[in-house]
Amino acid sequence: MYRCIFILALLGSLPAATLASGLQEYSARYSLYRNGKLAGKADFRLEQQGDKWIMSTQGSGTHGMARVLRARDREYVEGVLEKDRFRPLRFEHEVTVAGIGNKWNALFDWPNDSVTVEQDNKTIELGLQGQALDGLSLKLEIQRRLRAGDDDLSFLLLDEDQVKQQTFRLLPSEMLETSLGCLETIPVERVRSPTSTRYTRAWHAPALDYLTVRLEHGKTDGDQMEMRIAELQQAGQAVVPGTGCSGNHSGKTSGRQSG
């Protein structure tokens, strides 16, 4: 159950470096909530090392049962850019709750259109079908498509021992109150069966390179998880909080970078 808290971290003008490469280095901290109560934190980082890009997350329980159970989550992916599209090469996933862990990693072989998953000293090989991505790479691909104005949000997701289809839809833009101020956002919602009580929604801020500033996941008749942005640095500069929605008379505002 508490693993779900960290699976969430399982959605102005941009600097010249962003426009040139399609990616921008950043580090962000999010607050994690379970049923409206603070439960933990998650740190995201995207950085370039030589010709590779590396994205990593670290989640931990800081309050309530998540803290008691010493819940921890770590994900890591490294890959390269090909025509502004991120191609993962290696992905690692690890969750620990009450000393019990689940760990697996994946090696992507794009020339052979396959991925090898290693878990518990066992390996399986799956087909990439030219497009399957891990959870972190999927976040980057959603950002890329939103940035490009591409409303095709159907993906193939590598999830441990299987590749499965996931489809999202765009919702009407929304002004959202955040720790960085009032932000115009593009909400994206996962498409599920009509009988499902599960939901996943993420709010992406165009002024912040379409980063996720809020994410909700849960069941309408069960636990509800939230991830809210708390702090952000882009291209080595801290994003200073802007005006709140109540004080934004123009109807639009955005976070701004400190010099």
The pLDDT tens digits for 53-93 are 999 999 988 888 777 667 889 999 999 999 889 999 999 99
Looking at residue 44, its amino acid is F
Taking Cα atoms as reference points, which of 172, 171, 173, 176 lies closest to residue 226? 176
| 17-45: pLDDT as tens digits | 333 347 899 999 999 999 999 999 999 99
End-to-end CA distance of the chain: 42
Domain coordinates of the chain in residue numbers?
Answer: 3-11+18-257
Alpha helix positions (H), the chain: 3-7, 16-21, 64-68, 135-148
141's tokens: 């691909």
* pTM listed for this prediction: 0.85
- CATH code of the domain occupying 3-11+18-257: 2.40.360
| 167-209: pLDDT as tens digits | 999 999 999 999 999 999 999 999 999 999 999 999 999 999 9
